[in-house]
Amino acid sequence: METTKIKAILGKNVKYFRSHRKLSQAELASRADISVTFLSNIERGIMFPKVETLSRLTASLDVEVFELFRTDIIDKDQKVMMNRFSSDIKGTLITALDDVITKYMG
């Protein structure tokens, strides 16, 4: 896998875990003892942290190192959202159809 792709995966996953832990970039940067600018560059896939920094990031996010390099994290989250959306739509359609049937069929 090429370096650019690895940086992009790492960046997306750091941002994903940071967001799901409701941390701002400033909070995570402070916990990991890095600058907000550096964290932003990591999240955008521009820079790659040294091992020590990566270790502090994983500790700050309470994840294992391998989790920051998984390619299926975002996809799983999207699947959960699509399932919820599908259920909501299904429920709305059933209610609407019941209303129409009741109104016109008695």
Read off the pLDDT of residues 43-72 as tens digits, 9 standing for 90 and up: 999 999 999 999 999 999 999 999 999 987
Q: d(Cα 63, Cα 58) in Å, to the nearest integer?
A: 5
Number of domains in the chain: 2
pLDDT of residue 79: 65
- Pair 29, 60 in one domain: yes
CATH code of the domain containing 17: 1.10.260.40
Same domain, 60 and 83: no
The answer to whether 49 and 69 are in contact (CB under 8 A) is no
Question: Tokens representing 62?
Answer: 């309470």
Instruction: Give the pTM.
Output: 0.69
Do 2 and 27 lie in one domain? The reply is: yes
- Average of per-residue pLDDT across 74-99: 74
| Domain carrying residue 32 | 1-70
Distance CA 92, CA 96 (A): 6
Q: What is the mean pLDDT of residues 80-92?
A: 75
Q: Do residues 76 and 47 both lie within one domain?
A: no
Residues 29 and 59 in one domain: yes
Residue with tokens 């955008």: 44
Are residue 79 and residue 60 in the same domain, yes or no?
no
